[in-house]
Amino acid sequence: MRTRIMIALASVGLAALMTTTGCSFEEAICGDGEYPAIAVGGQGGSACFPEGQEPTPPYVRYPEGKVPEHVDDEWDVYWRSHGIDANGKIIDR
């Protein structure tokens, strides 16, 4: 009985800690200090670049407001079926 109470208290404490620190089990697209960029063309693909460094060809920045942050988030899923052409226009793949 005591073990169950200890486990319950530990679980509640962990949940509270994660809520207050913003901790998440979502896998980030890039590491700390990096941002994702998308390859130009219908082929898709992305890479991570250090903050403050512009992406190198064939990569460009994602359009503002459409940047994936976590694996399987709204924009990660969206970009699986879309790309960027040479003119910066969003295209279907």
SS (H, E, C) the chain: CHHHHHHHHHHHHHHHHHHHHCCCCCCECCCCCEEEEEEEECCCCEEEEECCCCCCCCEEECCCCCCCCECCCHHHHHHCCEEECCCCCEEEC
52 lies in some domain? yes
86 lies in some domain? yes
Q: Output the pTM of the full model.
A: 0.71
User: Sorting pLDDT into bands at 50, 70 and 90, what band is 93?
Assistant: confident
Q: 1 or 40, which is more confident?
A: 40
Number of domains in the chain: 1
**End-to-end Cα separation, the chain, in angstroms:** 57
pLDDT in tens, 22-68: 556 899 999 999 999 999 986 769 999 999 999 999 999 999 999 99
- Average pLDDT value for residue range 72-92: 95
Residue-level pLDDT at 26: 92
17 lies in some domain? no
User: Structural domain of residue 46, as residue ranges?
Assistant: 26-92
12 lies in some domain? no
